Amino acid sequence: MRKIVFGVLCALLVSVAAASAAPSVNGATGQINNPSADVLQEGQFSAGYYHLKTGGVGVINLSLLPNLELGVAGFRHDDVSANKTYVNAKLGLLPETILTPGVAVGVEDIAGERSRSYYAVASKALPLGFRIHAGVGNGRFDGTFAALEKTINPVSVLTGNNTFPATTLIAEFDGRRMNYGARVSIIPGLKVDAGWRDRAAYFGISFTN
């Protein structure tokens, strides 16, 4: 019986992580700038657009093989000479369980248009809706990076039948500076992001299927 309960809890944890997955500004599934240990499941894809202080970025990720996520992030700036395209890859090594964190390794900007960056990251859910991510990397990450998430589950509004959508609050250190944001689930797979990144406001929308 204990094995059955443990298996059900693990399955729920994996499904929750998959449901909350969304691309980061730099492409890989993650928070604001940082990648997480979450990897799109085989056959899944995600797409998004983020408006930044100097332009915008379009992101597409997909998984054609188990535990392998491939993606592209195209940055288009007001100054066209600064435009660049990141090709990214992330491999999930260990799935997250009730007792152990998920672990993934990846590379960002494979072609080295700005700064090819290798990283390893671990993610773990905590009690009370918190989730922590921590990693190490070179290039853009400049050593260590970390993030803390707090998910606020839907709650009914006392004055009516409206429901506040599930919202994840994010605080991260991307290796160079702190970023803050909120990710709101509108419908399954569709999320809206907004916050403070790179000393300026940003907002975006993404879809994961």
Instruction: Give the start-to-end residue ranges of the domains of the chain.
Output: 2-208
pLDDT tens per residue, range 93-137: 999 999 999 999 999 999 998 899 999 999 999 999 999 999 999
Q: Vertex 88, ends 82 and 93: CA angle to 5°?
A: 155
pLDDT for res 157: 43
Mean pLDDT for 134-160 is 82
Q: Which architecture, in CATH terms, is 2-208?
A: Beta Barrel (2.40)
Identify the CA nearest to 33 among candidates 165, 195, 207: 195
| Residue range 57-88, pLDDT digits in tens | 999 999 999 999 999 999 998 888 889 999 99
Provide the whole-model pTM. 0.85
